[in-house]
């Protein structure tokens, strides 16, 4: 079978690398002729709203998926008339507008920060009065990796944010004084079978994910069960097929949902070496209607993102248990160029290996990640 993918970035690339072991072929549609997925599959260059290119993708594909959530919903629906598209276009529609997404969570009884829609300066002032500072103001659409959002702590921040973002439709959210940032990754098959990977703790710098640690010292069976219940509500309501990621805040022992991503996710890259079945392979299995694989961890694992510049391969690979994944992209400040997954036999060994890798992979890191110290 041939899988069509909207998007030709590193996520599509890793979906294809996982799918090749299952005997699948892949064709990508992306506006960029140098997209990294083109190194591992048939890349068709074109915009996501070009119906001629979309029709060509449908003709070449038995099923279509997407690797990022800013694909036009209309394009996904157009394709879905020609070939099955998973996850369903309804999931795209919910995730593309932060207000719609928050309202969707509320309808499902999933806790979120307080929020308000903002389309005028008057509505912004009313939201500040009702929710109170500090706040986060975000564009409702097309934000990722910290882009399109600002933290408001003072009235001067409010003025500045309105000048910077006021031309867009906005949402204001209460700033959650979280203790940890977590994510839950899940996969649902065509038959409704659902599996979950362990909760992952994530640390960001400048709005960009730097490290993910599954089953960190923040993990408890109760938190895992609660996160799985929230994810299951989303999956079942949407009739979802494929991998879904939900980002959460942990505060005072409670989980607050931040947002969802209807796709494979950066915080799940550790699963390539750290789980029985990776998020990428299970995504392919799900959209093809194949039995899902086990999501069990195979041992202590972690993932470090490579940002801006690739580290020397020989130094990374000299660290026992380190696996380098380079995406074939040109170096550029702030750009995700790859990641390193780390495996170990014990928690203490994992900590030592991350401590050895951090100066190589992320020289600007201020110190060991709090998700690992002290060892659990």
Residue 63 is part of a domain; what is its CATH number? 3.40.50.20
Residue 93 lies in a domain: no
Neighbours of 141 (CB within 10 A): 15
Last residue of a domain, one of 137, 156, 174: 174
Last residue of a domain, one of 131, 150, 174: 174
Residue 102 lies in a domain: no
Helix ranges, the chain (H):
10-20, 51-60, 73-80, 89-96, 98-107, 121-131, 155-165, 221-238, 271-274, 279-288, 313-317, 347-361
The pLDDT, as a whole number, for residue 286 is 98
Residue 263 lies in a domain: yes
Same-domain status, 170 and 184? no
Residue 164 is part of a domain; what is its CATH number? 3.30.1490.20
Same-domain status, 138 and 230? no
- Kindly tell me if the per-residue pLDDT of 215 is higher than 70: yes
Q: How many domains in the chain?
A: 3
The pLDDT, as a whole number, for residue 374 is 43
Residue 107 lies in a domain: no
Question: What are the pLDDT digits (tens) for 142-194?
Answer: 766 556 889 999 999 999 999 998 878 999 999 999 999 999 999 999 999 99
Name the least confident of 147-151, 197-201, 225-229, 291-295: 147-151
239: alpha, beta or left? (left if phi > 0; alpha if psi -120 to 50)? left
Same-domain status, 145 and 258? no
Same-domain status, 169 and 31? no
Residue 236 lies in a domain: yes
Among all chains, which residue has been given the structure tokens 């659902």? 194
- Kindly tell me if the per-residue pLDDT of 376 is higher than 50: no
Same-domain status, 53 and 119? no
Same-domain status, 208 and 328? yes
Name the residue range of residue 32's domain.
2-85
Residue 372 lies in a domain: no
Same-domain status, 122 and 17? no
The pLDDT, as a whole number, for residue 225 is 98
| % pLDDT > 70, the chain | 96
Same-domain status, 197 and 320? yes
Residue 255 lies in a domain: yes
Residue 344 is part of a domain; what is its CATH number? 3.30.470.20
The pLDDT, as a whole number, for residue 158 is 93
**Residue 115, SS3 per DSSP:** strand
Same-domain status, 42 and 137? no
Rounded to the nearest integer, the mean pLDDT of the chain is: 94
Same-domain status, 265 and 292? yes
Residue 10 lies in a domain: yes
Same-domain status, 148 and 203? no
Last residue of a domain, one of 130, 152, 174: 174
Does a cis peptide bond (omega within 30 degrees of 0) precede residue 134?
Answer: yes
Question: What are the pLDDT digits (tens) for 297-306?
Answer: 999 999 999 9
**What radius of gyration, in Å, describes the C-alpha atoms of the chain?**
20
Pull the structure tokens for residue 230: 């929230």
Same-domain status, 285 and 304? yes
């Amino acid at each position: 079978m041939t899988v069509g993918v909207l998007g030709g970035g590193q996520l599509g690339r890793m979906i294809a690398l996982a799918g090749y072991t299952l005997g699948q072929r892949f064709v990508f549609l992306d506006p960029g002729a140098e997209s990294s997925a083109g190194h591992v599959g048939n890349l068709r260059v074109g915009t996501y709203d070009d119906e001629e290119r979309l029709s060509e993708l449908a003709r070449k594909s038995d099923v279509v998926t997407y690797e990022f959530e800013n694909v036009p919903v209309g394009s996904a629906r157009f394709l879905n008339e020609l070939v099955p598209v998973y996850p369903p276009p309804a999931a795209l529609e919910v995730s593309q507008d932060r207000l719609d997404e928050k309202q969707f969570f509320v309808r499902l009884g999933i806790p979120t920060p307080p929020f308000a829609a903002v389309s005028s300066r008057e509505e912004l002032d009313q939201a500040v009065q009702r929710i109170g500072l500090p706040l986060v103001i975000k564009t409702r659409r097309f934000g990722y990796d910290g882009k399109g959002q600002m933290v408001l702590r003072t009235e001067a921040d409010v003025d500045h944010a309105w000048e910077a973002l006021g031309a867009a439709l906005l949402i204001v959210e209460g700033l959650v004084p979280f203790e940890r940032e977590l994510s839950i990754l899940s996969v649902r098959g065509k038959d409704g079978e659902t599996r979950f990977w362990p909760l992952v703790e994530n640390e960001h710098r400048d709005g960009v994910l730097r490290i993910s640690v599954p089953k960190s010292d923040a993990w408890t069976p109760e938190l895992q069960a609660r996160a799985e219940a929230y994810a299951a509500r989303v999956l079942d309501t949407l009739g979802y097929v494929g991998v879904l990621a939900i980002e959460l805040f942990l505060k005072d022992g409670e989980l607050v949902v931040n947002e969802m991503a209807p796709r494979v996710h950066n915080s799940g890259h550790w699963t390539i070496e750290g789980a029985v079945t990776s998020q990428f392979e299970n995504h392919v299995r799900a959209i093809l209607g194949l039995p899902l694989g086990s999501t069990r961890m195979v041992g202590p694992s972690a993932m470090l993102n490579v940002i801006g510049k690739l580290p020397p391969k020989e130094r990374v690979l000299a660290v026992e248990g380190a696996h380098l994944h380079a995406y074939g992209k040109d170096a550029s400040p702030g750009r995700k160029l790859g990641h390193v997954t780390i495996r170990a036999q014990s928690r203490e060994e994992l900590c030592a290996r991350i401590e050895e890798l951090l100066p190589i992979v992320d020289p600007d890191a201020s110190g060991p990640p709090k998700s690992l110290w002290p060892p659990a």
